[in-house]
Structure 1
């Protein structure tokens, strides 16, 4: 995992730059001192003119001094004008900054970001196997779960609740608007009525009604309802009945008679598979299903109900409450040490790692998908990176570019001056020897 850039990182970078500056200064001082040394040696040798041995020293020192000055000029000319003089073809790097930036970007793009090279690197790396090995090793799955939970907790604090509620309401409304409730209900009822399942439902309802009517308490309630209705609808008749008989007793008898009659009717329907009421029930259900699936009037009515439902403030409040409840539950759960979400993530990560470990064909398939994805992304990646390199280098100030390059390669360039001094001196000795020989 990449370490965040902070004060410690900046301090380390500054220390490295200081070390580079010091190393460059030391090598520059050494190369210059060597030039001064051979210059002094040349003056000393010339002052001893006529002495055969000092002629060899003078030849060495003269050639070494020329080599040192030539290489000094070459090194300085890379970065600036020597002695500040606008000599042609000097300050080569600042003057060609844009061309260098384009060439550097093209070099990185073509040599380091070649499509097939990167795809082959993905295959060689075998990322799926390494992921599987990491997930199944020690407590890595739990570590991954902890990191993801930390991300979730941070995300909860930055989520715009109002926007989420609006998106949730919009998504639910859109899905319900697209849903043909009538056709869906018709198909559902088709499934429920296969193999006469609705007749079993009818039998259960008949038995339930019979048990309710057999209950004495329900009979008394029914009797009370009869008296209440009769007293409200037919008060005169009820008073006349009360003259010759006890109205409560009469209502109980009537209720008992009704119960007995209804029970007989219910049992008749229940016991006779061909009872007319059963066939009527079948026809009613079939007709209702056909209306649900094909009747435009039913569809329009259902659509109106659906629109009224979606427009109801209580529905919006309910959907908003779902998000609030979910967020509260997530926050409370993620704050606990025994978080259910954390356990599920850790368990899922471990199972994924084991699954990838035990299925080489799956690993090969995932690796191939990664390679294909890399191939699809490489073109844009190459162009983006090369453009970034070129634009970044072009935006640098000339002094900044020179400073960075000098810190990076300036120390090695001073070796050119040193080598030029020594090699020039050796060549001077060789030329002096050839002159004497000839």
Structure 2
């Protein structure tokens, strides 16, 4: 099993690993040879010291260098395994303390690398908004994003229906509409319509409708029949109904022409007074307000309204799904254009980018803060799952060569210390 718990190795390429292993082996051989050389020099110097007294200095240096080399060899080996396989306490430090190392490593990363201060500081160095702007400004990427969004449309619509979100939103909209007072709102809307006497255009249209009605043969026949029914029989013998109808139509037509030609006609003024009075009552009359609220409640409660909303939803869904799956989709085209435009605006607006970056920092920092204990536990669990043999091999392969130089330093420092002690001993005895 690899150190990560997966099949892919993490040591690097096979060639790199082989080179590291070869370099480590050469360093070990040189260090061991240097230790053996110290032992040999010590033995030779001690043997010829009675003949050549100055060899005492060499013997002292070689003796201390041997001790230092052996001590550092022991220290280096004890990190990874038991020296000579002996069950010596406090050896094989890394394998024996794997769980403690794992826990401490996880806590170290959590406290030092995932603390709020360093995380926010590092996140503030990244211009997330610029990255988003550059990504969206690319037409190909924007088109790809639009295709991805379009593919999600059917699933999104189905999810909305299954989740009850559509009914929930509809109900909330109805509740909000029920809270809105209709009469004052209608008064304000109509007041905007009556500005600059624009309601008189509606009055003009009304006169045209009446004029067309009076010119309609079927309408005139119905009016004549009604007049005939109301007149005494003797008048009908003299065709009084036709006379009266002709007079009524002529008078009405003449009046309508006068009204249309005169912007200050008394009928227009009367219509103005009627409209203004109606608007005032809408604003202030409790009776009108009650009537308007009742009409609103009756309208919202009608089943036809819900059926209409259902039909509108089904039609909208059908149109969206059909367009999203079409080879030349208007939705995809408009989405792609919108994404590109958003990217360009974002790139040119520093304030929006700054606000967006701050939002990213807050969101990501909060996410890291909420998940850092989990990251710590994940790291610790992964380290605990590492194969000990492979872990030891990996560490030794990457830093073992540097550790071997500790042996050289130990021999050199030990030899110098031994030499100084020997000189001190000679000086002390000389006194």
TM over 0.5: yes
CA–CA distance in structure 2, aligned partners of residues 295 and 403 of structure 1: 91
1:367-406 map, 5 Å: 367-374=353-360, 376-377=362-363, 380-381=366-367, 383-393=369-379, 398=384, 400=386, 406=392
Deviation at 1:304, TM superposition (A): 1.3
- Residue in 2 aligned with 1:7? none
Cα gap change, 1:408 to 1:283, in 2 (>3 Å): farther
CA–CA distance in structure 1, aligned partners of residues 421 and 279 of structure 2: 120
- Residue in 2 aligned with 1:68? 73
SS in 2 for 1:14: coil
Q: Is the 8 A contact 1:62 1:428 kept in 2?
A: yes
SS in 2 for 1:337: coil
- Residue in 2 aligned with 1:204? 205
CA–CA distance in structure 1, aligned partners of residues 381 and 339 of structure 2: 45
- Residue in 2 aligned with 1:289? 279
SS in 2 for 1:139: helix
Deviation at 1:365, TM superposition (A): 1.9
TM-score, structure 1 normalization: 0.71
Q: Does 1:344 align with 2:344?
A: no
CA–CA distance in structure 1, aligned partners of residues 184 and 68 of structure 2: 102
Q: Is the 8 A contact 1:63 1:425 kept in 2?
A: yes
Q: Is the 8 A contact 2:143 2:336 kept in 1?
A: yes
Q: Is the 8 A contact 1:98 1:394 kept in 2?
A: yes
Q: Is the 8 A contact 2:35 2:411 kept in 1?
A: no
CA–CA distance in structure 1, aligned partners of residues 27 and 175 of structure 2: 80
Q: Is the 8 A contact 1:39 1:62 kept in 2?
A: no
- Residue in 2 aligned with 1:15? 8
Deviation at 1:100, TM superposition (A): 4.0
Deviation at 1:392, TM superposition (A): 3.0
Q: Is the 8 A contact 2:183 2:288 kept in 1?
A: yes
Cα gap change, 1:111 to 1:415, in 2 (>3 Å): farther
CA–CA distance in structure 1, aligned partners of residues 9 and 33 of structure 2: 33
Q: Is the 8 A contact 2:223 2:245 kept in 1?
A: yes
CA–CA distance in structure 2, aligned partners of residues 241 and 388 of structure 1: 104
Which shows bigger deviation, 97-106 or 185-194?
97-106
CA–CA distance in structure 2, aligned partners of residues 379 and 257 of structure 1: 87
Cα gap change, 1:11 to 1:111, in 2 (>3 Å): closer
Deviation at 1:72, TM superposition (A): 0.9
CA–CA distance in structure 1, aligned partners of residues 86 and 309 of structure 2: 78
Q: Does 1:106 align with 2:111?
A: yes
CA–CA distance in structure 2, aligned partners of residues 70 and 258 of structure 1: 125
Deviation at 1:333, TM superposition (A): 0.9
CA–CA distance in structure 1, aligned partners of residues 375 and 185 of structure 2: 59
SS in 1 for 2:327: coil
CA–CA distance in structure 1, aligned partners of residues 24 and 145 of structure 2: 54
SS in 2 for 1:16: coil
CA–CA distance in structure 1, aligned partners of residues 11 and 119 of structure 2: 36
SS in 2 for 1:109: coil
- Residue in 1 aligned with 2:292? 302
1:19-418 map, 5 Å: 30=25, 64-76=69-81, 87=90, 90=93, 91-92=96-97, 94-95=99-100, 97-110=102-115, 113-119=118-124, 121-122=125-126, 125=127, 127-137=128-138, 139-161=140-162, 163-227=164-228, 230=229, 238=233, 245=237, 250-267=240-257, 269-270=259-260, 276-355=266-345, 359=348, 362=349, 364-374=350-360, 376-377=362-363, 380-381=366-367, 383-393=369-379, 398=384, 400=386, 406=392, 409-415=395-401, 418=404
- Residue in 1 aligned with 2:53? none
CA–CA distance in structure 1, aligned partners of residues 254 and 186 of structure 2: 34
Cα gap change, 1:302 to 1:104, in 2 (>3 Å): same
Deviation at 1:403, TM superposition (A): 7.4
Q: Is the 8 A contact 2:80 2:92 kept in 1?
A: no
SS in 1 for 2:312: helix
Q: Name structure 1 gaps, 5 residues minimum.
A: 1-9
Deviation at 1:88, TM superposition (A): 9.3
CA–CA distance in structure 2, aligned partners of residues 377 and 141 of structure 1: 24
Superposed CA offset, 1:136-177 (max 9, x none): 446333233233333445534543356133033123313322
Which shows bigger deviation, 106-115 or 21-30?
21-30
Which shows bigger deviation, 266-275 or 338-347?
266-275
Deviation at 1:315, TM superposition (A): 0.9
TM-score, structure 2 normalization: 0.72
- Residue in 2 aligned with 1:3? none
Cα gap change, 1:262 to 1:57, in 2 (>3 Å): same
